[in-house]
A and B are shown apart, each in its own frame.
Chain A
């Protein structure tokens, strides 16, 4: 059974801090690792990572995948209160009838205080 584990489960920081969120995965026929940000409603897409060692960057957010260690991290620099949310990572299965299926981790609840 596919499994994705995130850590820490929750994190409280102050504005300006840098945070690193972790995601480890065991996904059969792994294809890609996705990061989402979820506030009050449905998740919004942040990154999709398919290749090991190539950093993806969007503003203050960046992410990288290590396919050897089955691991990904999401970094947020100079955090702002608007970054407060649940961050979800998910692994994509590329095999057979499970093709495209996302297995989500439990999420990391990030709280940024002013």
Chain B
């Protein structure tokens, strides 16, 4: 149990376009999903916390208009990188938890490259 999927696993897009990344909990209902980004040789940095049916909570320094998060159901959250630029190129990872404060299960990540 506790499987989280992400789609796509890898995406290359042109500067100025938008990219949507999906995060799904496959065998459990996730009340909360988290979105992280990870630069090479660095640790995971939390971008935002999303709860089903409510607005996401963004970490300081993360632009909410640039990184749109939608948690439409208990098994799906999406992250849309709007008007992507090369500096947005990174590894984006989501995690899901049955209940906040308990273990988070991570998706396989999405490698975004903006050219």
Chain B positions 27 through 44: 1 when the CB is less than 8 Å from some CB of chain A, otherwise 0: 000001010000000111
Verify B34–A102 contact, CB threshold 8 A: yes
Verify B100–A100 contact, CB threshold 8 A: yes
CA distance A101 to B41 in the complex (A): 22
Verify B106–A42 contact, CB threshold 8 A: yes
Partner of A32, one of B44, B49, B93, B101: B101
Of the four ranges (under 10, 10 to 19, 20 to 34, 35 or more), the interface on chain B belongs to: 20 to 34
Does any Cβ of B come within 8 Å of A104's Cβ?
A: yes
User: Which positions 57-115 of chain B face chain A at CB distance < 8 Å?
Assistant: 57, 93, 95, 97, 99-109
Determine the chain A residues whose CB is within 8 A of the CB of B44 once the complex forms: 43, 88, 102, 104
CA distance A105 to B45 in the complex (A): 10
Chain A positions 33 through 64: 1 when the CB is less than 8 Å from some CB of chain B, otherwise 0: 01010000111110010000000000000000
Does any Cβ of B come within 8 Å of A19's Cβ?
A: no
Determine the chain B residues whose CB is within 8 A of the CB of A100 once the complex forms: 32, 34, 49, 97, 99-102, 104
Verify A101–B49 contact, CB threshold 8 A: yes
CB-CB nearest in chain B for A94: B101
Partner of B43, one of A34, A41, A88: A88
Does any Cβ of B come within 8 Å of A92's Cβ?
A: yes
User: Which positions 1-49 of chain B face chain A at CB distance < 8 Å?
Assistant: 2, 6, 32, 34, 42-46, 49
Partner of B46, one of A94, A97, A102: A102
Determine the chain B residues whose CB is within 8 A of the CB of A97 once the complex forms: 57
- Known contacts A45-B2, A99-B100, A101-B34, then 13 further A-B pairs from the complex at CB < 8 Å, ordered by chain A residue: A34-B103, A41-B108, A43-B44, A45-B103, A88-B44, A97-B57, A99-B101, A100-B49, A101-B46, A101-B49, A102-B46, A104-B45, A105-B43
In the complex, 14 of the A-B residue pairs with CB atoms within 8 angstroms, ordered by the A residue number, are A32-B102, A34-B104, A42-B6, A42-B106, A42-B107, A42-B109, A45-B105, A48-B103, A88-B43, A100-B32, A100-B49, A101-B49, A104-B43, A104-B44
